[in-house]
């Protein structure tokens, strides 16, 4: 255990936790916006998988990481349009529709990978971009300020989205249609369009999360996300539908996973307990959800389609 508390190990563990938290954070923030408007999207994982594949394929063909990131966002937007048509226009049941999107993303990304790439091939990875001055701060500089630009973007989105939701007209409209769409409608807010925009933002961020995941790894595999998108949805509840709360959940999840991996590497966790320890992040999240269950309030109109009739 003493090795764990050396500075270099602690720095590496925190940096690892932040890397692991990034896709959860991006996807969770996007889902927060969607849910605040009253739309639950269980298809986040499928959107991430599709975006991850197309971002990877783009980078494989062009070596352009920026283009790959934009392609990831673009695929998310396309899926957002589809999901908006299904849930806002056609008013389909959101839970089932989301599962459908997930299954489509899982299957289609696999199909495209087989047809277009086949065997796993390494692609360019996102480089770490040390932030001048901040990365020179002893200890925390290396842990916090030597990451990829997508990681910085993910954390920068937290205050931006919080501001948007709390202080802007658009953000207040999102919250209004998520709490009481009839009242919002009577005040002239277009519930359908507001929810559509929220869905597009959510899916675009899920797409960016998929791109961040695959470009950090530099390689794609079928089912790359391994259920990550579902955890991101859970983190929205954990974070009580607040960007800062989602960030806390993502960091907790990532850091616990990083600590477990570090303890396994150092033999602190015996091999006999290895599989149990692997569940630690999920178990902690479930416990936190149970504790929070009676203390947080979901958007009142969450999962409820809106109709004037």
Partner 1 sequence: MKLTRHLLRLLALLFSFAMVAAACGADEVSVDVGIEDETPSGDSDDSEASGDTLTMAIVAPSASDDLAFTQSMIDAIDALDRDIDLQVTDGTFVVDDAAAAIRGYAEDGVEVIIAHGTQFGGPLSEIAPEFPDTTFIWGTSSDTQGLDNVFAYYPAADEGGYVNGVLAAAVTQTGNIGVIGPVEAGDAVAYINGFAKGAEDSGDVNVAITYTGSFSDVALMAEAAQAHLSNDVDVLTGSSQAVVGAVGVASENGVAWFGTQANQTSLDPELVVASQVYHWEVVLEEMLALRDGGTLGGEAFEVNLENGGLEIEFNDGFELPDGARDAADAAIDGIIDGSIDTGA
Q: Which spans of this chain sit near partner 1 (rule: CB under 8 A)?
A: 3, 8-9, 12-13, 16, 19-20, 23, 42, 45, 95, 103, 106-107, 110-111, 113-114, 118-122, 125, 213, 216-219, 221-224, 226-228, 230-231, 233-234, 237, 257-258, 261-262, 264-267, 271, 274-275, 277-279, 282, 286, 289-290, 293-294, 296-298, 300, 302-303
Q: Tell the smallest beta-carbon distance from residue 163 to partner 1 (Å).
A: 26
Q: Tell the smallest beta-carbon distance from residue 25 to partner 1 (Å).
A: 14
Q: Tell the smallest beta-carbon distance from residue 225 to partner 1 (Å).
A: 9
Q: Tell the smallest beta-carbon distance from residue 160 to partner 1 (Å).
A: 25
**Nearer to partner 1 among residue 120 and residue 159 (C-beta):** 120
Q: Tell the smallest beta-carbon distance from residue 152 to partner 1 (Å).
A: 19
Q: Tell the smallest beta-carbon distance from residue 64 to partner 1 (Å).
A: 18
Residue whose C-alpha is closest to residue 21's, from 198, 216, 252, 276: 252
Q: Tell the smallest beta-carbon distance from residue 290 to partner 1 (Å).
A: 8
Tokens 């947080």 correspond to what residue? 296
State both tokens at 47.
């959107």
**Nearer to partner 1 among residue 162 and residue 269 (C-beta):** 269
**Nearer to partner 1 among residue 159 and residue 227 (C-beta):** 227
**Nearer to partner 1 among residue 3 and residue 61 (C-beta):** 3
Question: Are the CB atoms for 253 and 285 separated by under 8 Å?
Answer: yes
**Nearer to partner 1 among residue 218 and residue 305 (C-beta):** 218
Residue 193 makes CB contacts below 8 A (sequence gap 6+) with none
Residue whose C-alpha is closest to residue 54's, from 135, 119, 134, 108: 108
Residue whose C-alpha is closest to residue 209's, from 18, 15, 24, 63: 24
Residue whose C-alpha is closest to residue 37's, from 87, 82, 81, 101: 87
Q: Tell the smallest beta-carbon distance from residue 167 to partner 1 (Å).
A: 26
Strands (E), 23-179: 129-130, 146-147
**Nearer to partner 1 among residue 142 and residue 185 (C-beta):** 142
CA 37 vs CA 28, 176, 229: distances in Å: 14, 7, 19
**Nearer to partner 1 among residue 77 and residue 150 (C-beta):** 150
Q: How many degrees, rounded to 5, is the angle at CA 62 between CA 60 and CA 63?
A: 70
From CA 110, how far away is CA 104, in angstroms rounded? Answer: 10
State both tokens at 218.
């530099």
**Nearer to partner 1 among residue 114 and residue 166 (C-beta):** 114
State in Å, rounded, how far the first CA of the chain is from the last one.
64
The widest CA-to-CA distance across the chain, in whole angstroms, is 66
């Amino acid at each position: 255990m003493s090795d764990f508390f050396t500075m270099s190990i602690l720095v590496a563990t925190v940096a690892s936790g932040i890397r692991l938290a990034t896709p959860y954070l991006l996807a969770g923030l996007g889902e927060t916006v969607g849910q605040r408007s009253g739309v639950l999207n269980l298809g986040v994982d499928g959107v991430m998988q599709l975006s991850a594949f197309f971002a990877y394929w783009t980078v494989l063909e062009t070596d352009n990481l920026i283009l790959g990131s934009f392609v990831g966002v673009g695929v998310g937007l396309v899926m957002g349009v589809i999901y908006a048509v299904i849930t806002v226009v056609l008013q389909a049941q959101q839970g089932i529709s989301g599962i459908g999107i997930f299954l489509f993303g899982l299957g289609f990304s696999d199909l495209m990978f087989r047809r277009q790439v086949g065997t796993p091939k390494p692609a360019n990875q996102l480089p770490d971009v040390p932030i001048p001055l901040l990365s020179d701060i002893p200890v925390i500089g290396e842990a916090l300020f030597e990451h990829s630009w997508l990681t910085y973007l993910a954390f920068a989105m937290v205050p931006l989205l919080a501001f948007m939701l709390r202080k802007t007209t658009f953000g207040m409209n999102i919250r209004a249609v998520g709490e009481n769409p009839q009242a919002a409608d009577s005040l002239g807010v277009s519930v359908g369009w507001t929810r559509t925009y929220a869905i597009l933002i959510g899916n675009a961020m899920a797409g960016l999360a998929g791109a961040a995941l695959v470009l950090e790894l530099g390689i794609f595999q079928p089912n790359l996300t391994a259920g990550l998108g579902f955890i991101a949805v859970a983190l929205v509840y954990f974070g009580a539908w607040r960007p800062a709360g989602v960030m806390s959940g993502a960091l907790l999840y990532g850091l616990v996973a990083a600590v477990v991996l570090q303890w396994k590497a150092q033999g602190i966790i015996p091999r006999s307990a290895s599989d149990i320890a692997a569940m630690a992040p999920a178990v902690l999240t479930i416990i936190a959800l149970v504790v929070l269950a009676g203390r947080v309030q979901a958007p009142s109109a969450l999962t409820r389609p809106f109709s004037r009739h």
